[in-house]
């Protein structure tokens, strides 16, 4: 007999195997000449082989994952900085980045976002540039020059009208923003702004200059730079600094494809499952960039354990390792004395269920064959 795709799908769908395997089976069986008995045998064989390929119960998957990520980690560069491609955005890569990911740092050392643009913006260079200017934090130095007049004890700001039209801001708006931020009066004469500090001292004047240099007049605060790059036939924005929640509201940005390398921020804005995906993607990309291939299952295990409690927690003293039930296992990791001391004060009991504590006391560990107890019937 010959089975159509629909019939094969129907037969295969009830099997207890992953979707990827089902799809492969459907592709392989469709249109093949076979008897009912042969079809049944093929399916039985696939199910049985899949069962054999799975991890055995009591296998130490955590240790295997740790070694499989740790060994290539020894070959990674210690060099922190790297320029991502031709765009002059600085991103941390290599071992420091991997450590940053598993430590679940609140803010990465070089936060950056990758923004895809919405339909209608993505293929137009001028529109892409407009979005970039709207997002980029604009300071006074982008718009003109600053000078201090020591005789008059004031700051003179000369605004460049070309720069202002480009960034779509007027001299009035600049004056207004400066008034808001400093609380001082701003004397505006067309493109020249004059400000004076409250007290006319030399120190106050210099402090005022420093302060107004830092004021973000337009765009998202913290987005220091936006670089446009063409990938394929699409313009993509790379930013220095990250603010996912704000950037997703900008016109022209496709909110469903925005990315950041700040995993905690993803957890807050998009949820724990997105954070888990981010950990997997960031770790895989970091390793791949160094020319190392680690099976994604090891990284998935790490991401799963980091996000199992509903929030991103680090692998380490303040996270996964620090939450182990056993006192001896925690003491074997870091800050030994504190853990043993606290346990003694509280009168903790160690159940000796884990690996580390059983190694310490010299007993067989409860993993693999060590987990099997023999029960004899007399």
Name the residues that contact another protein, by CB under 8 A: 18-21, 23, 248-249, 251, 255-259, 266, 268-274, 277-278, 280-281, 296-297, 300, 304, 307-311
Measured from the CB atom, the residue of 146 and 248 that comes closer to another protein is 248
Give least dist CB 310 to another protein, A: 4
Measured from the CB atom, the residue of 20 and 376 that comes closer to another protein is 20
**Residues 120, 126, 130, CA angle at the centre, nearest 5°?**
90
Confirm if 8 and 26 have CB atoms less than 8 A apart. yes
Measured from the CB atom, the residue of 289 and 311 that comes closer to another protein is 311
Give least dist CB 187 to another protein, A: 35
Which strands, in side-by-side order, build the sheet including 112-116? Answer: 225-231, 234-240, 112-116, 259-260
**Cβ–Cβ contacts within 10 Å for residue 67, how many?**
12
Round to whole Å and give the CA distance between 71 and 93: 17
Give least dist CB 275 to another protein, A: 9
Write out the two tokens for 372.
Answer: 């099997």
Measured from the CB atom, the residue of 60 and 280 that comes closer to another protein is 280
Give least dist CB 116 to another protein, A: 9
Separation in Å, CA 269 to CA 102, 246, 247, 263 = 20, 10, 11, 10
Measured from the CB atom, the residue of 123 and 257 that comes closer to another protein is 257
Confirm if 195 and 184 have CB atoms less than 8 A apart. yes
Write out the two tokens for 71.
Answer: 């060994």
Measured from the CB atom, the residue of 51 and 271 that comes closer to another protein is 271
Per DSSP, the three-state class of 187 is strand
Q: At what angle do helices 171-182 and 202-214 cross, to 10 degrees?
A: 120
Nearest CA among 32, 25, 41, 40 for reference residue 1: 32
Measured from the CB atom, the residue of 131 and 164 that comes closer to another protein is 131
Give least dist CB 274 to another protein, A: 5
Give least dist CB 188 to another protein, A: 30
Give least dist CB 18 to another protein, A: 3
Confirm if 215 and 205 have CB atoms less than 8 A apart. no
Measured from the CB atom, the residue of 79 and 353 that comes closer to another protein is 353
Give least dist CB 54 to another protein, A: 11
Write out the two tokens for 378.
Answer: 């007399």
Question: What phi, psi does 117 have (nearest 5°)?
Answer: -100, 155
């Amino acid at each position: 007999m010959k089975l159509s795709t629909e019939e094969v799908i129907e037969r295969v769908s009830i099997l207890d195997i992953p979707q990827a395997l089902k799809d492969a089976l459907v592709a392989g069986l469709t249109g093949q000449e076979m008897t009912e008995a042969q079809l049944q045998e093929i399916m039985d064989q696939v199910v049985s082989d899949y069962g054999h390929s799975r991890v055995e119960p009591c296998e130490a998957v955590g240790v295997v994952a740790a070694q499989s990520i740790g060994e290539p980690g020894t070959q990674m560069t210690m060099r922190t900085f790297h320029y991502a491609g031709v765009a002059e955005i600085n991103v941390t890569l290599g071992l420091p980045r991997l450590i940053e990911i598993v430590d679940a740092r609140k803010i990465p050392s070089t936060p950056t976002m990758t923004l895809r643009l919405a339909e209608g913006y993505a293929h137009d260079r001028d529109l892409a540039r407009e979005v970039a200017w709207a997002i980029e934090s604009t300071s006074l130095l982008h718009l003109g020059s600053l000078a201090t007049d020591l005789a008059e004890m004031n700051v003179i700001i000369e605004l460049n009208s070309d720069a202002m039209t480009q960034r779509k801001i007027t001299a009035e708006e600049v004056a207004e923003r400066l008034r808001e931020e400093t609380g001082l009066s701003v004397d505006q004469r067309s493109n020249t702004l004059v400000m004076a500090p409250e007290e006319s001292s030399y120190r106050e004047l210099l402090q005022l200059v420093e302060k107004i240099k830092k004021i973000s007049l337009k765009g998202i605060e913290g987005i220091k730079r936006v670089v446009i790059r063409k990938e394929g036939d699409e313009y993509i924005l790379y930013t220095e600094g990250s603010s996912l929640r704000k950037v997703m509201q900008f016109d022209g940005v496709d909110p469903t494809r925005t990315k950041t390398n700040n995993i905690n921020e993803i957890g807050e804005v998009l949820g724990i499952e997105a954070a888990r995906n981010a950990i997997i993607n960031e770790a895989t990309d970091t390793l791949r960039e160094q020319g190392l291939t680690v099976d994604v299952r090891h990284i998935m295990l790490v991401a799963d354990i980091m996000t199992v409690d509903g929030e991103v927690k680090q692998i380490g003293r303040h996270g996964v390792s620090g939450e182990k039930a056993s006192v001896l296992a925690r003491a074997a990791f870091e800050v030994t004395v504190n853990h043993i001391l606290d346990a003694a004060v509280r009168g903790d009991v160690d159940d000796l269920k884990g690996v580390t504590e059983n190694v310490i006391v010299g007993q067989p560990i409860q993993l693999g064959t060590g987990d099997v107890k023999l029960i004899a019937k007399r």
